[in-house]
Amino acid sequence: MKLHPHFQCFRVSTKEASWARYYIRYTQPISHNPTKQSSPPLRDDTAITTTHLDPALASASLQDHLRTVENWTRMWRQKINETKSSHITFTLRRGHCPPVYINQTVVPQAETVKYLGLHVDKRLTWKDHVKTKRKQLYLKTREIYWLIGKHSPLSLENKLLIYKTVLKPVWTYGLELWGCASKSNIAVIQRYQSKLLRSITNAPWYISN
């Protein structure tokens, strides 16, 4: 369970519609609170958010909902891993909200949390997300460079096909959200694209990006 704002896209195929309908009804008591926002659990993660100008009241509101979650898990004999849960405060001000508890255990406060593949920091700059994706791109590129590098015997069309199917989805996932990052953060991905595409096309040094 991660306690932070979430962005969710829930898509169900026709064969899974019946299962998903009963699953949401089963987990509905977790998110049924008119003053908070929470997402239906996805595998073992769910997100609960609350907002208030007063940090103490924000934590009190969140703690009230967590008691509902505790009662639900006890009723269905579920186990929450308190140490893997995260409590993050989204604000431009200094400091954190007062701590919250799950089963009398303090939920660790974090500067960055990962939810549905997105690394969200407390100031929503997306710097950590871009940095993580850049590392993933570097590792994936090393694995398939022998296929898309300048010495590869594959045609340019096949190289671009591999790039679009293997590498491009790494940084385009969640682009609707982290695409609003600062120009300096977006430039990190753009530099990677320019460097790799020059290698794929075997462009000479005198051709600009």
d(Cα 49, Cα 100) in Å, to the nearest integer? 13
Provide the residue type at 54 as one letter.
D
pLDDT of residue 3: 38
Residue in the structure block whose two tokens are 């710097």: 127
DSSP codes joined into one string, 59-107: HHHHHHHHHHHHHHHHHTT----GGG-EE----SSSS-PPP-EETTEEP
d(Cα 55, Cα 93) in Å, to the nearest integer? 11
167 within 8 A of 141, measured Cβ to Cβ: yes
Per-residue pLDDT 10s for the chain (209 aa) are 343 333 323 222 333 334 344 444 444 555 555 445 554 454 567 888 888 888 899 899 989 988 988 898 888 888 888 888 889 998 888 877 899 998 889 989 889 998 888 999 989 999 999 999 999 999 999 999 999 988 899 999 999 999 999 999 999 999 988 988 999 999 999 999 999 999 999 888 888 76
For the chain, which residues make up each domain, given as ranges?
2-121, 127-201
